[in-house]
Structure formats: C-alpha cells, structure tokens
Structure 1
Amino acid sequence: GVKLAEDRDHNVEATFFARRASFQFDAEIPPPNERKRSCIHAPKGLGTWTIVSISNWSDRPAVLHIPPPALLPPPSSGFDENEADTFLKEHGAGQSDDDHGYHVLAFWSSRYTWLPPQTSANEQGPEQTLSSRLAAHETEIFHVKRVEPEFPQYIGSDLHFSCCKEVLVFTATTSTVKIELKTDYNRVGHVFVFLPVINTSNIRVLVNGEPGRWVAVGNTPKVAENGSPRLVGRVIRVMVVVHAGGDEDDGRIVIDF
C-alpha cells in the first residue's frame, strides 16, 4: 500500500546528517581546506552563507557573543588563527562600497536581524558582534548571509536547520520569486525571504496555488557614507504548509513584488 507521510520515520533525515558530520577514527583525514566533511550542498540560487552555532554550557542563563571573524566567509584558501585578524581588516566595513551588512536568521527562535558591516580594530567605532541570551544548556543556530540589496534572497526557514535542505528549486527575477519546497514529509512552518523593495503594498504571495499569509519581519538598511542607515529592502515571513499528498502545487511559493 501507499506509505503516508505521517507514517514515515522523521528521524531518518536527522540521523543521515549526523552520520555525515560525525568523526570516524578509521576514516582518512581530509585536507583542512577540502569542503567534504560537514558540507551540505545547497540548491542553485540560494547563494552561500555561514552557519554558526553557540551553546551555553553553564547552569545559568548567560549572554554569549560571536566574534566578528566567525561571521565572515572564509577565503577559498582557508586561514589559521594567526591570519584571522588580517582577514578581518581586509574585509571590514569601510573597505568596500559593496558591503551592506549581513542577514542573520536565528533558527530555533525564528528571529531575523540585520547586522551592520564589520569594522576592524583600526576603524572608528566598536566591532559589531552578534549576541544572544541563552538559557542554561540552550543552543542557537545562526545563519549569516551577506546582503545583496538589488536581488531577492532566500534567508532561510524554520523547516530544516540547514536552511537549504528543505528547498528543491529557488528562482528569482527583478519582480518575482519562485520557491519549490520538498514534499517528502508533511510540514508546517515559515520561510524568510529578502525583497529589494521598501513599499510592501504591492507584494502578492501564493502558497500551494492559493493566496498565502505573510508578514514583514525585518528592515534591511544600508549604511551611507555619513554613517546613517538607509532602507534598501524588507524581509518577509511566509507561512507554508506541505501536505505531502502528491498535489502539483504542493510546496510551491510564488512572490510577486
């Protein structure tokens, strides 16, 4: 007979990724710069981003901070601890007109934050750090993606911790975003999308072929030369339901703006 979505083992996917990321004593040690271990391939169009996990191992609530080098994409050749400060200075704020800051999505709490461009110790102003208050033994996963102010961007979702493995297809133009989610399992959640628009009155969303529910949850500014932020786009949260029933429009999201 047909195996229903609710009858499937939802732990299979988590077990698969855990085994891929786990350390094996008998396995050959890969080169330090080879993207093989713990690497998840994302669908075309999602871009690249950094995943940072922080944990509070103490028995009391605490505010934890992520240092700036952890938020920056590593160079293709990799770097060691002695090169981290140099890399930060070369990629800090004020070094490039193309640096518009970062989208930051906290997976477990489903919170979006815009993080200003990083500054080095030699620049004016304090370094920007990402801070989070965590309960005892609590963990948060942050997805950090560089802002591209002229193009729509997939920020992530609360459907899968990778913020990419739930996506089958992502395409975007100057006026439309199309997302096809995987329909292997029945899921209810949200996706977060950056749109390069300020006025949200023209946004129209279809989910599974019907008008969808969405809300603007974040403003993405650009830091001008005088240091003042200027709004360049909005981040919207779209509610999605994947029925996993074989319908043609199941898992499809269309955003016109």
Structure 2
Amino acid sequence: MIDYKGKVVLITGGARGFGAEFARGFAGRGATVVIGDINTELGEATVAEISRGGSACHFLSLDVRSDIDWAAAVDYCVSEVGGLDVVINNAGVEISELYIDTTPQACRDLFDINLVGTMLGIKHAFLAMQPGGASGRGGAILNLASVAGLSSTPGLAAYSASKAGVISLTKLAATEAGTFDYGVRANCLCPSLFNTDMGRKLLNDFPGLGLGESVEAVKEGLIARIPVGRFGELSDVVNAALYLCSEEASFINGVALPVDGGMSGAG
C-alpha cells in the first residue's frame, strides 16, 4: 500500500470524472487533497463526500486558464493546508468534429484549457516545489494526456493535437526540472476510453460523424482494438497515478504511460 500521509495533492478538474476518482484515491491513502475546479457546486459535493469518510479534502475555485487563479491555488495549498507535494493537471475538454467542420474558436478554447492550463500548472508547481519555493520540498507532477495523443482517431483532430502537446510538455518539464535541480518529476497518463462524462459523450458523438452505425457498434469496434478485451475501470487510472506520484516511482520521469489495455501498442 502506497502511503501519502503528510502529502498535499492538488487536482484540477477534480469535481467529477477522473479528477474525482484521483481525489478519492489519494485521500484514501492518507493525502490531504485540494480539488480545484470551476464547478463549485459539484466540487463542494465531491469534497463533502470524501470528507465524510474521514479524509482531509478541500475545494477551491480554479480556472486553469488563469495565471492569477493558479497562483492563488498554490498559495492556498501552502498557507492553509501545509505545502504542495503533487500537482495533477487533470482538467480538460474534448470536441468531436471532422476537419471540414472545425472552427477556429472551438480549437482555441480547447487548447486554452488542455495545453495552456497544463503549462500554467507546471509553471506554478515548479515555482512552489523548487528549493526556496513556497513549499520547497520537491514533488511530482502528473499530467493527463490520452491514447488519442499517441494514435490517430478520425474526428478528434483538435483533442488529439492537444494531448500530443501535453505529452511533449511533460517530457520538457522533466528535462527542465532536472536541468535546474528543482527536485520535481513530471509524468503523464494516456488513458483510452473510460466510463466518464467525456467518454460517454465521445461514444454518442461518433455515429453522428459517420464513424459508426450506432453507439453499440462504436463500443464493439473500440473493444476490438484493445488486446485485453475490455474498457478500463476508473481504478486502473487511479492506481497508475498513485504509483507514478509516489517515491516507489522515484526513477520514472518524463514518461507517457498508456493506460489502455494495449490499444496504442496494437496500432
């Protein structure tokens, strides 16, 4: 059992989906969890649920596109909670559209959250975690990419580009942190399709794009591409995150880890 007692973990987009599961997972291992999200009502409900189990969990409003919000979130973690050891850049959005239907503004909005938001998260994690920073005890950054950033799926051009960018940002963050002795590792996860709001939306969108006769047909086609023969469970992603952010993974850095049942390796 990996123990996170005494650690402070900041999770963006933590009100639901992967983010909420990360919050439950890290809190269950003893971490003090801070959920940052723009959905105050749902975020506070998730915090209340986790806190009822006896875990330490807090909510703050955080728009990952805002440099000011990021600075305030990190200040809250350090001054009110006691430090900052792990930052999980989980917040993200997805759009499903063919190239011929792509609109510039939709792409810019997606890149602002998925890419700029992740860059700002890395920036503020470095500032706080490096020697002499507000927390100053090193730590781990975990970015949420996607198997879409490793392979090609029609209808996901902007999303795939953003997640490929997150993989690149992760590798650069690992290299830069080492160059300047920040004491910070950076890795990312590349999940395939999971039973989240975003995953369900994707399944429902594909038939309308001409990428399957029905939602069930899309499901069957995707499962056929996964060597283990099933979709992932949320616990599969949480367990990978718990490992990568722990001391047990102290020599794993700059990695884009597929959590996809072998989908990306099968082509």
* TM-score (structure 2 length as normaliser): 0.28
Q: Which has the larger radius of gyration?
A: 1
TM-score, normalisation: structure 1: 0.28
Whose helix proportion is higher, 1 or 2? 2
